[in-house]
Chains A and B, each alone.
Chain A
Amino acid sequence: MALGDVKISVQNLFKIYGPNPQAVQDQVFDGIDKTAFMQETGHVLALNNINVDMREGQITVVMGLSGSGKSTLIRHLNRLIEPTSGHVFLDGEDVLAMDEAALRDLRRRAMSMVFQKFALLPHRTVLANTILAPEARGENVKEAEEEARKWLDRVGLEGMEDSYPSQLSGGMQQRVGLARALTSNADVMLMDEAFSALDPLIRTSMQDLLLELQRDLHKTIIFITHDLDEALKLADHLVVLKDGYIVQQGDPQEILLRPAARYIEEFIQDINRARVLKVKSIMAPAKSKRGCIDVVSGHETLEAVINAHQGRVDGVFAVSDPDDPAKIIGKVKMEDIYRALVRPQMQHD
């Protein structure tokens, strides 16, 4: 399986809570109001026709406010919650058709998980917490501990192996949670609001740690968050969830530049666009740097370009491939950079 292939495919997924979910499923349609559905049927519509492809080696971020169904969605991927209807395919195999043994095997080998409240075992040391997945698989404890030590070092917890979780700060506890997920050696990592319970500074350093790990490991990461800044920082593919349905999904830059709904537009109001948008997203394709005053990497944010040229308002820049600085892939005018900072206006009714 190559990077970029579809690893997990969620298709037509519905989840309805209540006394008789099957019976009321016919009354569900796209964009139905959750409150009205509750009043009419007495059922809670948690997920409404979810279709997402999560690609190998990418970070798919599912973002939404509380009650949008994001935590419910991630729990369907390893079937901690059973759906009302729909499919979840992992490498083409239907997770929902698995029997108990196959499902347990999937949880032990194919998917690991990091939790908002860390969910470490309080009676075990850091090291004993970290080997949970190999232990569940029945592997040799000595070897598992060796592997666990490696990952604990990697997340910055060297020397903490024999501490108990209650002796660690929140940030360190979540590093243990991360090491536990990494020690499982699963391709897929499910992260349920993994950094939401941490202080802003620690959250930022954990995000950086995750991105740094991801550069080497190329895991398929499903990341749940309610924080748009976090979502934009981490996402290769962003899914915006509201009241159980997907409002918009795609490349985060694309969503910022072309919001498809009023809801998204409101959401991105307070975002510092200069710091999030990248040169690559707004450039026009080109092959040579003729007539350009400078070359910038496509990976640079608009803010970086503006800062580097100290507020200069004219000129044209060549844009180079982020992976190959010698290769020119496009051009961008300084005025386009400033124009991109203006929030897109939608036709409002």
Chain B
Amino acid sequence: MAYDWIFSALGMSEACKQDSGPLMSLSALRQEEPSLWDLPFPSLDTLNAACAAVPRTRDFTAALQDGFLYIRPALRSVLDPLTQPLSWMLDGALTLFVEMPWWILVPLLILASKLLSNSYKVASIVAVSFLFLLFVDYYEYAIQTLSIIFVCTVLCVAFGVPLGIAMSRSDRFQNAMIPILDMLQTLPTFVYLIPLIFLFNITEPKLYGLAIILYAIVPVVRLTNLGIRLVDRDVMEAVTAFGLTDRQKLYRVQIPLALPNIMAGVNQTIMMSLAMVVIASLVSAPGLGTLVLDGINNLRLGVGFLAGFGIVLIAIMLDRVSKAALARIDKSNKT
């Protein structure tokens, strides 16, 4: 074999042989000296062929799983009660908004979008979108999707803004957080679901809730940190010179001045929640995503397309309303 010489040179041939299993004898059957052209990379599997004591890659992944399963009960006993309120909130919001008659909820949402954006154009986009969703009978799915996004966004802001503030106050904490945020942002969305499936019951709402929050919280944390760090140093020096306490500085100066950036982060967070809530239909998140999933699983092209269009409508509504709200804050900050 290609790398036998390493182990013989190290005088470990004996140690290797002790462990030789049936696979070793299999590879011994086709023992030819490989040419340089065919030289394999000394990967775990190749080295295992030379020395059975080296684990194979599949042994390694199995060990990862075993390790995770080993700490699972401990992790569960901590995380399960801690995240239980998330399930309640999601269940509560879903029940509340789905049970509410459409002729109350839809006008309320249109009114809310008008108040937030202060724009008739945005409010009419919301109105037309809901009328369409009602007309094609996807209204209930859309409301489920919106309820989940609503709960997750509120929680992202509730945890993300304080995290961002803490990051802005300590360079050390910032340096520790940035790799974590980078990882959360770059992990493929499906990968979030794997450890969560192991940890929680697949029927529990907190499973998809956590996946959405972990994915969507990143921008609001980042932009809160950035916004507070961008507050003019001269202004901060002035309020220090007039004897404001740290708390007064935070609430009366830093947060108001960082608000445009924080709101930009909230807009991003909302859009990312929407992206994740569709994928989370794989782990029983209700809403338009289940229709898309149905379209894929059962090759129902029309259902998939129409649900996809519904998601686009929701995306447009959320984006327009949050952007218009952001523009209003921006304006009042500048003039």
A contact set with B: CB distance below 8 Å? 78, 80, 104-109, 111-113, 115, 117, 119-123, 132-133, 135-137, 164, 166-167, 180, 184, 190
Contacts and interface: CB of A to CB of B under 8 A. Distances in A.
Contact of B242 (A112, A117, A122, A164): A112
Which one of B240, B242, B334 has the greatest number of beta carbons of chain A within 10 Å?
Answer: B242
B9 to A, nearest CB: 50
Contacts of B43: none
B64 interface: no
A123 B257 contact: yes
A133 to B, nearest CB: 5
B239 interface: yes
A107 B243 contact: yes
Contact of A119 (B235, B244, B335): B235
19 contacts: A80-B240, A80-B241, A104-B243, A107-B241, A107-B243, A109-B243, A111-B241, A113-B238, A113-B242, A115-B237, A122-B257, A122-B334, A123-B256, A123-B333, A132-B242, A132-B244, A133-B243, A136-B242, A166-B334
Which one of B241, B245, B257, B333 has the greatest number of beta carbons of chain A within 10 Å?
Answer: B241
A63 to B, nearest CB: 21
A119 B237 contact: yes
A169 to B, nearest CB: 16
Interface string B228-241: 00001011011111
A104 B237 contact: no
B253 interface: yes
Interface residues of B, number: 21
- Interchain residue pairs A-B with the least CB separation, the first 5: A108-B243, A107-B243, A119-B238, A119-B234, A113-B241
Nearest to B256: A123
B241 A121 contact: no
A249 B234 CA distance: 29
Nearest to A164: B335
A121 B242 contact: no
Contact of A184 (B235, B242, B245): B242
Contacts of A113: 238, 241-242
Contact of A115 (B234, B248, B257, B332): B234
Given A119-B237, A119-B238, A136-B245, 13 more contacts: A78-B241, A104-B243, A107-B242, A108-B243, A109-B243, A113-B241, A119-B232, A119-B234, A119-B235, A121-B239, A121-B257, A123-B257, A167-B335
Contacts of B253: 121
A75 to B, nearest CB: 8
B110 to A, nearest CB: 30
Contacts of A164: 335
Nearest to A163: B335
B248 A136 contact: yes
B232 to A, nearest CB: 7
A133 B257 contact: no
B24 to A, nearest CB: 60
A107 B237 contact: no
Contacts of A132: 239, 242, 244
Contacts of B243: 104-109, 133, 136-137
